[in-house]
Amino acid sequence: MSASDDWREALEALAIPEAILAGAEQSPWIFPPVLFQVPLVSTVTPSSERAREALGEEASVLDVGCGGGAAAFALVPELRLARGVDRELEMLAMFEANALARGVAAMTVQGPWPDVAPRTNMSDVVVAHHVVYNVSDIVPFLSALGAHARHRVVIEMTTRHPLTSLNEAWRHFWNLERPSGPTSDVLLAVLGEMGLLVHHERFEGTTWSESSPEEAARFARIRLCLPMSREDEVSAFFLEHPAPKSRSLVTIWWDRP
């Protein structure tokens, strides 16, 4: 079995059992607003360094799954043109507003990648931060990233799927054992099978967190498909099992031949 098959099967195994999902008061596939906030002064990371050093004459970046553009705007002040691709118009509006606030020209394309790749222009650098775990058919996604980069592709991801952080809570509230994959090592194997000369660097970053313990409990409760009436139980559980303050990340990059 290929690494891409391993990747797809590991993602499919993360599906929530239908019996649990059917009883959920709302969809568990939610993302807190903090994930899309873009600080005016970005922290320098291996991901931003590898992208910045590959900017060319156009000084452009294509941010796939851009959200508010944290990956793209980490390249300010060198960045002059930011292209953003996202499924959600709300995210693209935020991307454009963040570009305007930084004096960066912006172009956006709405839709799923790689479906919208044919109507998306090339850029010096293509970045995709924290989106690959949402992609089951990974090879076409990666191939289209490379086809749109003049110089380099930079991917940032956690070394383990972010939802695995809730595995202990699933065991506690549902007596359910959840899978632990896929991982960044599987993605590296996929890239190797594609014949790409890939580099990677692991580093520690701060954990995304909601604005308050109450908000964190609410999002965790929704992700666990629990009713609102059990939010106090979820809060108590996470007081006893606090989330780690840091997370293991990896920057993966490759250059165009």
Tens-place pLDDT, residues 38-73: 776 678 999 999 999 999 999 999 999 999 999 999
Q: With 80 as the cut, is the pLDDT of residue 213 above it?
A: no
Q: How many structural domains is the chain composed of?
A: 1
- Return the structure tokens found at 151: 């110089």
- Give the CATH number of the domain where residue 155 resides: 3.40.50.150
pLDDT at 146: 98
Mean pLDDT rounded to a whole number for the chain = 93
CB 148 within 8 A of CB 123: yes
Neighbours of 143 (CB within 10 A): 14
Residue span of the structural domain in which 89 resides: 3-255
C-alpha dist (Å) from residue 188 to 4, 39, 68, 154:
10, 30, 26, 13
Q: With 80 as the cut, is the pLDDT of residue 32 above it?
A: no
Tens-place pLDDT, residues 82-122: 999 999 999 999 999 999 999 999 999 999 999 999 999 99
